[in-house]
Amino acid sequence: MVTIALERVGVALGRRAVVRDVDATFAPGTLTAIVGPNGAGKSTLARAMLALVPATGTVRIDGADAATMPRPDLARRIAYLPQGQVLHWPLTVERLVGLGRLPHLAPMSRLTDADAAAIERAMDRAAVRTLRDRIATELSGGERARVLFARALAVEAPALIADEPLASLDPGHQIDVMTLLRGEADAGGLVIAVLHDLTMAARYCDRLMIVDGGRIVADGRPGEVLTPGLLRAVYGIDARVESGGDWPTVTTLGRVRGSD
């Protein structure tokens, strides 16, 4: 199990403050959606948690400062699915998923039977076993997304940060991925997903963190956070939020005049 705590975290890229003054704690056994408009700073916030961008303030992973943690230690604790990754090498799916085991390997050592078992589990869970011998660069966008998801699962880390894991996926595979993320959290994992689909976020996540202009502007249970007023302020949309069912559903009605 792992806990991530952010203390006054800020990130500047170029001259722009992209993440500002973020305080937040993420506990084991929770699935948090980070949502917000394009350019709000969601991916940058995720990257700051992984010490992949220079940040002010402190990110603590189980109390230790992420900035000074050896990279393999951090990579074993938090698996990361980056947004929109481009594949350059014509590796088979099985080998690509196997790269998820790198944080566990000593330099120049080979995969063990335990690594091979973890790779099989990950391919199974991301439903890519049938693609195992295919060349990853020759896959469709959705197939590739599932393979990259499998690579992140192969780490078998106690925490997972997934940046837009539903991008390119058809509705069935979107449900599969969200069910899997929910399952990881229910099994004690700390799971954070950057999402754009508010209804999917509300359906599966315990917590919705809304980021706008680099700040957290709302944070709580989906039913508390998702209000037409907030959606208007943050996204510039008119939306209907229905909360009579098992989870809140959001229907976008239109653009608020004057928003971009």
Cβ within 8 Å of residue 215, ≥6 positions away: 20, 21, 22
Spatial CA neighbour of 242 closest among 233, 251, 232: 251
Measure the CA–CA gap between 170 and 158, rounded to whole angstroms.
27
Residues 44-103 that bind ligand ATP (CB under 6 A): 44
Total residue count of the chain as it appears in this document: 260
CB of 215 to ligand ATP, least distance (A): 12
16 binds ligand ATP (CB under 6 A): yes
6 binds ligand ATP (CB under 6 A): no
Out of 4, 5, 6, 18, point to the residue binding ligand ATP (CB under 6 A). Answer: 18
Q: Quick one: 48 or 131, whose CB is closer to ligand ATP?
A: 48
Out of 1, 8, 39, 130, point to the residue binding ligand ATP (CB under 6 A). Answer: 39
169 binds ligand ATP (CB under 6 A): no
165 binds ligand ATP (CB under 6 A): no
Q: Is residue 253 within 8 Å of residue 239, measured between CB atoms?
A: yes
Out of 41, 100, 103, 165, point to the residue binding ligand ATP (CB under 6 A). Answer: 41
42 binds ligand ATP (CB under 6 A): yes
Out of 1, 8, 13, 252, point to the residue binding ligand ATP (CB under 6 A). Answer: 13
Q: Quick one: 98 or 214, whose CB is closer to ligand ATP?
A: 214
CB of 39 to ligand ATP, least distance (A): 4
Chain residues that interact with ligand ATP, rule: CB under 6 A? 13-14, 16, 18, 36, 38-44
